[in-house]
Amino acid sequence: MKVVSIRKNPQWAETAKAYCEEKWSDVYGAFEDTLNQCLQKENRLPETWIMVGGMQEDEIKGFYQLCDAEPVENETKRSPWLTTLFVEPDLRGWHYGELLMNHARYEAGKLGFDKMYLATDHIGFYEKYGFREIGLERFAWGRPTKIYETDTFGKVQLAVYDEKNLPGDETYLKVAAYKGGYTPGENGAMALHFEKYFAPPDCFAKKWFTILAFRGDELIGRINFIRSSTDVRHWYLGDLSVKSTERRKRIASRMLQRGIDRIRQNGNGDEYICAYIEEDNTASICLHTKFGFADTGKCQPFEDFVFGENETTYRMNL
Ligand SMILES: CC(C)(COP(=O)(O)OP(=O)(O)OC[C@H]1O[C@@H](n2cnc3c(N)ncnc32)[C@H](O)[C@@H]1OP(=O)(O)O)[C@@H](O)C(=O)NCCC(=O)NCCS
């Protein structure tokens, strides 16, 4: 049995619709609508997954969908939602439902979500699979429903290191080997940079911290924050990167937010953070602008750092 993405295998779309219409006609309208969106939208959600196997190896035996929203009243920004989970009646009792739920938790985790939600009136079923009931709501059309949440797999964890909490050798080696989407030449420079900042006695900056993002044991993102040696309000943000296969999952946003929160908590409120961004780095410009950084239009000096010709300073006042 395998689980197949309709987005990646649109040749299954019509068979999947016919299967749903035959086996679970009550949800057919919503299922078809979501499936059509998978085929049209470039976003990663919604997505429809079908379980395929059987004697002929090509029969649909179940499905589920992962949506970015559910039509429940008082909905906040919870996302994503596991919907229309279905297993072929003959196969029930063989843990295929669990397989699909775990598949959904894994896929949601890959998309960068720590939690996944579910609206259901089943009693005592989803609890067995690690879902927690977190509230009672109404669907937009009035029927009451319970809301559940569960943790996804492959959760991304952030670790913060500073002069008092240096990483162990193993982490240090991961950082030195980490490419993070940079070219090898740049990576060499980054490794040297790390040697400098993970060796505080020789480091000019008395205040600095590094945030690393891990998925399981794998290092997938990093960012450095360094305070100016002459102005305690002035923080530099640098070496922000996320592994290329892990981008657009809000990992940079989470690291950035963690750093900003930390400076806010320990500061007086008049701090400012500067990032240096190349004029053609759309991803970084969009990310920083979203956080409230503004382009100063010039490249302001920071210690003895050397910046590229097309980099300008983006500043955010805390
Ligand atoms: C810049 C970088 C760190 C962003 O990491 P990321 O984890 O993908 O960023 P996020 O998922 O947190 O993105 C948050 C927001 O930034 C914006 N953004 C991120 N990447 C974008 C892109 N390629 N194009 C347009 N906007 C983008 C979006 O508004 C995004 O929100 P959305 O996904 O909800 O639309 C990553 O692209 C990277 O490592 N690039 C190479 C290294 C680099 O350039 N570092 C910055 C040096 S200044």
Q: pLDDT tens-digit profile of 183-235?
A: 444 444 555 555 555 554 445 556 888 899 998 788 899 998 989 988 999 99
Instruction: Compute the distance between CA of residue 152 and CA of residue 212 in angstroms, rounded to an integer.
Output: 20
Cβ of 282 closer than 6 Å to ligand 1, yes or no, is yes
Sorted by where each starts, the structural domains of the chain and their CATH numbers stand as 2-151 (3.40.630.30), 156-317 (3.40.630.30)
DSSP 8-state symbol, 298 = S
CA–CA dist 252, 259 (Å, integer): 11
Helices (H), the chain: 13-23, 28-40, 96-110, 169-177, 184-197, 251-266, 282-291
Which residue CA neighbors atom 15 of ligand 1 most closely? 287
Does residue 284's CB lie within 6 angstroms of at least one atom of ligand 1?
yes
Minimum CA distance residue for ligand 1 atom 22: 283
Look at residue 255 and tell me whether its pLDDT is greater than 90.
yes
Minimum CA distance residue for ligand 1 atom 12 = 250
* Ligand 1 touching residue 244 (CB < 6 A): no
Distance (angstroms) between ligand 1 centre and the Cα of 288 equals: 9
Best probe residue, ligand 1, of 236, 242, 254, 282 (max atoms within 8 Å of C-beta): 242
- As a whole number of angstroms, the distance between CA 178 and CA 71 comes to 42
In this prediction, residue 190 carries a pLDDT of 52
pLDDT of residue 109: 86
Confidence band, pLDDT 50/70/90 cuts, at residue 181: low
Report how far ligand 1's centroid is from the alpha carbon of 126 (Å): 35
Phi, psi values for residue 111, rounded to 5°:
-80, 0
